[in-house]
Amino acid sequence: MLPRTREATQADNSSLLALANICSFYGRVSQHVDRSPDFFRLSSLQGEPWSVGVVDGPSGAIIGCVAVAERKCYVNGIPRNTAYVTDLRVHPAHRRTGAADSLVRYAMRRCREMAGYDAPVLCVIAPNNKPLGNLTFLKQFAEIITYSVIPLGRHYKTPKAGLAVSPAGPNDVEEMASLWCRLAPQRQFTPEFSTESLIRWIEKAPGLSISSYWLARQSDGELAGFMGVWDQTLHKRSVVQHYTTSSKLFRVGFDVIAPLLGAGRLPGVGGVLKHLTAVHLCASEDDPLVLRSLITRAIREISGKGHSFFTIGLDATDPLSTALKGMLSVKTRTLACVGTSDGKYSGPPLGDRPLYFEIALM
């Protein structure tokens, strides 16, 4: 008999925070994500409506969780209801107990209730982690590369003449939403935004404001692209738990030259990785130099302020990836998978357009 999964409430916050601190992400730099003071802050940004399911252990403490959200997204260029499943975690001491299967069943039920039986369900999985429970019904359709770019300030040259990059203001949001709607169909699972919903999302996000966004305009004043730069330390911090031997050596060398480059030193075990993350990246795939101009301007602004890197995530096949050519970065790969609440995805192929994915919401 599988353990019971129930809907989490605010009363579960402290237990969910403890679970997040126990469940680590392993790699060259192993880390856990500290979601204090409120685990649900990030969940509430995933979509609307959203839900967190939990499994209680024998002692009453939560031993597993999963988050589900409905999203109106562009799939093959058409807006439709989709679901997103994330935060599938099980305490290391309680794995192979059926907790993961119970959580997946809860997630699929909530996907059906929110988005419908045939709605595409998106999930991302680290390549070195096997899917938990019965997530094997998911089909990989894309690979996301997260670039952790070392902020070398003016060493990165702005490549495009005649393109002006400046901070956004309240009067720019309508124009930003209009450009978003025009470019969103170019990618799979790009969320749909109106002026009002974009404003609401920004206002709800801790540490984010319209002044956190950079705009790129053509010489005639037309908006060509924009990107938010998000300091997430108010609700999400990456805490180092372990460096591999090669990463330790890299850290020693990096910390020597970091101050000369304008970057922050890497923390020791138990320290927080200080970085900024791109959000709401909006640029045409036909003009990656627009994105390059946004990134270089943002990096110039953060250089010398103690940040070790600036993270941005793109589909491995996205033409915009060329915007990062020549930038010093560490790359992390994540697999994007799709299914439905009833099982395998059998809809139209998804490989003809790159995936849009907010790594800031992982």
Q: What's the pLDDT at 125?
A: 86
Q: What confidence score (pLDDT) does residue 132 get? A: 45
How high is the pLDDT of residue 262? 79
Q: Quote the CA–CA distance of 169 and 194 in Å, as a whole number.
A: 17
- Give the start-end residues of each E strand in 134-265: 139-149, 164-167, 190-191, 213-217, 223-230, 237-243
pLDDT at residue 153 in the model: 65
Q: Which of 43, 93, 90, 92 has the alpha carbon at shortest distance from 71?
A: 43
pLDDT at 263: 85
- Listed in sequence order, the residues at least 6 apart from 278 whose beta carbon sits closer than 8 Å to its beta carbon are 227, 228, 229, 230, 295, 298, 310, 311, 312, 313, 359, 360
pLDDT reported for residue 38: 97
Closest CA relative to residue 215, chosen from 180, 176, 187, 177:
176
pLDDT at site 321:
96
d(CA 32, CA 240): 7
pTM of this structure: 0.93
Total number of residues shown for the chain: 362
Give the pair of three-digit tokens for residue 70: 């409905």
**Residue 239, amino acid:** V
Q: What per-residue confidence (pLDDT) applies to 136?
A: 65
**Which CA distances in Å does 348 have to 18, 78, 93, 217?**
41, 12, 40, 36
Q: Domains, the chain, ranges and CATH?
A: 5-118 (3.40.630.30), 147-361 (3.40.630.30)
- Distance CA(358)–CA(45), nearest Å, equals 11
* pLDDT computed for residue 133 by the predictor: 43
pLDDT along the chain (362 residues), means of 10: 91 96 83 94 96 93 96 96 95 90 94 93 78 65 94 70 90 98 97 97 97 95 97 94 88 85 86 94 94 92 87 97 90 92 89 95 90
The secondary structure of residue 237, as a DSSP letter, is E
The helix/strand/coil state of 102 is helix
pLDDT for 203 equals 97
